[in-house]
Amino acid sequence: MFEPGHVLGDRYEIEGLLGQGGMAHVFAAHDRHLDRSVALKVLRPHLTETDAERFRREIQALARLSHPGIVTIFDLGVGSEWVYFAMERIDGGVFTDLGPFEDDLGSQTRFLRAAVTVAETLGYVHQLGMVHRDLTPRNILMSSRGAPKLMDFGLVQLTESSRELTKTGFTLGTPHYMAPEQATGGMTDATTDIYAFGAVLYRTVTGESAFDAANDQAVLYRHVYDNAVPAIERNPLVPDDLSELIASMLEKTPERRPRSAFAIAETLRAILRSQEDLAASRAAGGASRTSSYSTGPVAHRALREAWRIRLERGPQWPAGLAALDGFILAGLRSDTLAVLRARDGGRVARFELQDEVDQVPVRTGQQLWVSTRDGALSEISWPSGRTNWRGEDVDAAGLAALGTDLLLTRRDGLMERWLPNKSVRWSYALEAATELPPIVHAGQAMAIDTHGMLIAVDLSDGRETFRVGLEAQPAQAAASQGILLLQERSGEIHGFALRSREVMWSFGLEGDTYGSPAIAGGRVYATSWAGSLVCISLEHGDAIWSRELGAAVTASPTVAAGRVWVVTEAGSLHGFEASDGREVDVRSISSAPIQAPALPVGGRLLVASTDGTVVAFD
């Protein structure tokens, strides 16, 4: 229709084609009058009157709407040959790029906050008596700052005055996201959009459509007659409450769906709060091991000591602290799992074990999994402390929760997914033994053996998806936003893109490294035995800032509420602003080494040294 360089309306210089549909082309363009980038939607010539009416309806609908969650219309152009409108250009991808749902708080927060915005935007549209009727991932675009924008209102229904488009047999929309009543040509209302949004959420959190088939008619048939597999079954990292919300949005009968998009927004906010609370119960913040948390001491002042206690012995690397239901779990070198009250440090329970705890305990449902140095793995009921089962020779190298399932790597070179009854859903034999925990990201479980071979398998069935060799002694890894951070013990870090399966960048730390790097806000925070803390770009691997700590570091850094906390072998705690590396606090905790990462719990930060000193800071 137009080539780059063409000027439309003596104002808009065409830069390229963004997309096209049955009735219009969308072009990237430059607004010469206001010197800004825009998107131009241009009606195809010689269309039917029905298509032209849909185009006019889209312009009218957008002109009525003023909301930060809706793409803004700037200008309408009507000439002798072309009808078009100019709108803001959105360059950040589509909504489903936020998925699948991961086990790290950063990606969960991005997804859930975006979902809240979409729900509130739908609520606004519905309050005006309008129904979108074509809510799909391609119609929910993401800005460069991660804010979703609804667009393409060509099928909008004005519920009080435009019944002619809902006559029986007249079906418009996108099959994979179409409510049953829309698929059968029935009447549509706000719950039709709620169903479509449920289908979009399903596709985002699982990576798969709720219903798929060989052709559009078969897809529509399944929307009308089949029930979707629960999202949690497709992706075990999806929380129960989120899976149930999506299922309610996909109810066949409109009356059984949530009646308000605003109510969906409130439920999504509650799910986000729940995930923030749960982050402290997961080793390294989750199976992606980003060591990033949204909670922690307030950022405008120095730390204040809330309480300090002394246990007989403290956690030793790679063991550490975890938080559950207002309690702190500390795996001690005295063959004990200590349970403390988070509010005052009072010791409320002592779970006796056969040997020293060697990893952070993992919770699946109401069960705790505790690994000890003698190779045993114990299943303990929470909060009673009763040992339900003990496997003497599991010899776990690392554990991760997959909903109610357990993912583990074993030092004999196996990676396995266990069901709640401890039967093995799948097992994969690595090429050599492993001493590192598994990483879960982008629908894959990944393990690194002692020869430096990374092997990734499909999380659902254990089928190998790819492998890549480090050719060096590996250290703990982490993953975020589709990028896996592969570390060598010597301090070399590689940013590996999971989609292209290529190394994007490499960065060398001074000194050996043991703990995994922390990842937050598109930045990587890494420490080494040489006593340095470095902040680098996740996307490019460029150094942003660095600080010298004056002591060796074994534990992973912790990012909490915008600050980076690092503990050292000299028994000190250091705090820095995550944005610019400005030092905000330094404390001497003990004369003994600290090898367990600092743990944020609510508005507090917990630190435990190997001599048993445990301190909580506000």
Q: Which residues are catalytic?
A: 134
- Collapse the DSSP code of 343 into the 3-class scheme (helix H, G, I; strand E, B; otherwise coil) and give the result: coil
Q: For residues 399 and 124, what is the distance between their CA atoms, to the nearest angstrom? A: 44
Query: What residues contact 243, with CB distance under 8 A and at least 6 apart?
Result: 230, 231, 232
Beta strand 36-43 pairing with 83-88: antiparallel
Q: For residues 104 and 300, what is the distance between their CA atoms, to the nearest angstrom? A: 26
Could you tell me if 431 and 437 are in contact, meaning their C-beta atoms sit under 8 angstroms apart? no
Could you tell me if 558 and 599 are in contact, meaning their C-beta atoms sit under 8 angstroms apart? yes
| Percentage helix, strand, coil for the chain under 3-state DSSP, each rounded to 5 | 20, 35, 45
Asked, as a colleague might, if the bond just before 318 is cis with ω within 30 of 0, I would say: yes
Question: Which strands form 599-601's sheet, in the order they lie side by side?
Answer: 305-310, 613-617, 604-608, 599-601
Q: For residues 282 and 439, what is the distance between their CA atoms, to the nearest angstrom? A: 13
Q: Nearest to residue 295, comparing CAs of 310, 314, 283, 278?
A: 278
Q: What angle do CA 558, 561, 567 make, to 5 degrees?
A: 25
Q: What angle do CA 98, 145, 130 make, to 5 degrees?
A: 75
CA contacts within 13 A on the Cβ side of 532:
14
The burial of 109, by beta-carbon neighbours within 10 Å (0-12 exposed, 13-18 middle, 19 or more buried), is given as middle
Report the 10 Å Cβ neighbour count for 430: 21
